[in-house]
Amino acid sequence: MGVVNATPDSFYDGGRHAAARTAIEHARRLVEEGADLLDVGGESSRPGADAIAADEELRRVLPVLDGLREVGVPISVDTTKPEVMRAALEHGAAMINDITAFASPGALESVARSEVAVCLMHMQGRPRTMQADPVYADVVAEVRDFLAARAEACAAAGIARERIVLDPGFGFGKTVDHNLALLTRLGDIAALGFPVLAGWSRKSSLGRITGRPAEDRLAASLAAALLSVQHGARMVRVHDVAATRDALAVLAAVESAS
């Protein structure tokens, strides 16, 4: 899953693709690099980010969706707002990726009657304050139980199991240790029976581990993507599609040889 941030303030690529035209060009490049799926977002969820109004998010996202109608891969839209979800469906989105796991009133109902896939992500707190002091008694059990409960809520709203993807939400209200515990026990989440998506790309935990700024975290991101897949992720959400594909190709070759 290639990341297309149509935002002025995302933590890594904020402002680079804020204009619809450059976001569309970037998205096309990611498809040429081998992305199987694109995730278009109009609101940053980086730690400390303020929420934006639905009008502004629609203004950022819809022209990008319209420009990607013929891009040849499914488009996911990264949003928490029911009105953005509904508009995204009308503009051709194949997946809604909600970092709050469809917590907003009306969110589940907005997608239930369609055929789109849904990505349910775990987050402790909200972006503005989530990294202040994340606390868990047992991070893996809490994240797994939360995701299981949200998958049940989807089923109760009429969403077929085949449409559901789960994501532990690396970096969303989690310390480095929390993220590492979730990575090494991703299998516990995969055991719920849904495909798991992992998003480590260029995140600050990789900066803490390597001492490098976001622009120098490619190698660390590739390592985290590989390890995520080895531990049970079926999809990885990344900024660097070509490099990630190469890394995953080596893993696939090693696995088929052994």
Q: Where do contacts with ligand HH2 occur on this chain (CB under 6 A)?
A: 3, 5, 7, 10-12, 41, 44-46, 78, 97, 99, 119, 121, 167, 169-170, 197, 199, 237
Q: How far is CA 236 from CA 1, 33, 248, in A?
A: 6, 15, 10
At closest approach, how far in Å is the CB of 157 from ligand HH2? 19
| Upper half-sphere CA count for residue 223 (Cβ side, 13 Å) | 11
Q: If you count them, how many residues does the chain have? A: 258
At closest approach, how far in Å is the CB of 186 from ligand HH2? 13
Nearest of 78, 68, 61 to residue 19 by alpha carbon: 61
Collapsed DSSP state (helix, strand, coil) of residue 200: coil
Nearer to ligand HH2, 17 or 91 (CB): 17
Nearer to ligand HH2, 82 or 173 (CB): 173
Amino acid at position 85, single letter: M
Nearer to ligand HH2, 62 or 214 (CB): 214
Question: What angle do helix axes 20-32 and 54-67 make, rounded to 10 degrees?
Answer: 50
Nearer to ligand HH2, 62 or 77 (CB): 77
Question: What angle do helix axes 82-90 and 54-67 make, rounded to 10 degrees?
Answer: 20
Encoding tokens for residue 94?
A: 């194949």
174 flagged as catalytic: no
The residue number with the shortest CB distance to ligand HH2 is 199
At closest approach, how far in Å is the CB of 26 from ligand HH2? 12
- 28, 46, 174, 237: which one is catalytic? 237
At closest approach, how far in Å is the CB of 23 from ligand HH2? 12
- 81, 150, 185, 203: which one is catalytic? 203
Amino acid at position 101, single letter: A
163 flagged as catalytic: no
Name residues whose C-beta falls within 8 Å of residue 214's C-beta, 6 or more positions apart in sequence.
11, 12, 202, 204, 207
At closest approach, how far in Å is the CB of 187 from ligand HH2? 18
Nearer to ligand HH2, 51 or 251 (CB): 51
DSSP H helical ranges for the chain: 20-32, 54-67, 82-90, 107-112, 139-156, 176-184, 186-190, 204-210, 218-230, 241-257
Active-site positions?
A: 203, 237
